[in-house]
Structure 1
């Protein structure tokens, strides 16, 4: 899939652990892990909004389109 998930990068920049983010946005650590590894088939806008709010970032900081990954 040509969508690259850079959630680990943002977590590192914010010095936050996955469990802290999961608790802050109200999803399980397992579901967050699926998203972080790029195995998720979809993400709800409400989840994306919550992630961006907590990490103080834009969706483009987390998700990137990489044509070469096809």
Structure 2
């Protein structure tokens, strides 16, 4: 599973800088950079809510789910199964 982050797209649509978003949401520039570059492993609902409020958008406007290649051809093994 891959989650793609589209914060840059929404920032451009809203003509807002990363610095302004960081200040409005109360998230450090470093953490926002990790999130927008797809390196985050998780996001707090409160952070997601703050981003959506600041960008006047829905979670689906900034998050997109895509299947991994193995999932597309039916060979996906869940994380739990792979540890047996």
TM-score normalized by structure 2?
0.79
Partner deviation per Cα, 1:15-40 (whole Å, 9 max, x = no partner): 00000000001011010000000000
The 1:2/1:31 distance shift into structure 2, 3 A limit, reads same
Determine helix, strand or coil for the equivalent of 1:39.
coil
Larger Rg: 2
Distance 2:17 2:33 in 1: 11
Structure 1: distance between partners of 2:40 and 2:14: 23
Q: Which protein has greater RCO, CA pairs closer than 8 Å, 6+ apart?
A: 1
RMSD: 1.4
* Structure 1 residue ranges, 4+ long, deviating more than 2 angstroms after superposition: none
Unaligned runs of 5+ in 1: none
1:1-60 Cα deviation digits (max 9, x unpaired): 510000000000000000000000101101000000000000000000000001000000
5+ residue gaps in structure 2?
71-84
TM-score, scaled to structure 1: 0.94
Partner of 1:3: 3
